[in-house]
Amino acid sequence: MDDEYILPPTGVYAVKVKLGNQQFDGVCNIGYKPTFHKEKMDKPSVEVHIFNFKEDIYGEVVTVEWHIRIRNEQKFENIGQLVSQIEKDKQQAILHFEK
């Protein structure tokens, strides 16, 4: 992420991702990964999970369209709790786009 972009507050969002002429639904986390890092990183990371998508697009330019904020960023006690919450976040984003 370049410094010229303005990011929304940390948290989890339902997003649409534009790649070329295609558009995909997804869920995005913006934050500092507190479950994995004891100290806060200098910049937040932006991670997008695109639903039903299997291509390798690392290094490609995409546009992220922010729809709704699902929840705040939070620290989990273990990876299992994080994985469980990610699935809930995904389901909430899917429901948002089905409306």
3-state secondary structure 34-91: CCCCCCCCCCCEEEEEECCCCCCCCCCCCEEEEEEEEECCCCCCCHHHHHHHHHHHHH
How confident is the model over 52-76, as pLDDT tens digits? 999 999 989 999 999 999 999 998 9
Question: Above pLDDT 90, what percent of the chain?
Answer: 74
Yes or no: say if 36 and 76 are a contact pair by the CB < 8 Å rule: no
Whether the per-residue pLDDT at 99 is higher than 90: the answer is no
Burial pattern 55-64, b for ≥16 Cβ within 10 A else e, equals eeeeeeeeeb
Q: What is the pTM of this model?
A: 0.87
Which fold is adopted by the domain 11-98? Elongation Factor Tu (Ef-tu); domain 3 (2.40.30)
Q: What are the residue boundaries of the structural domains of the chain, listed by start?
A: 11-98
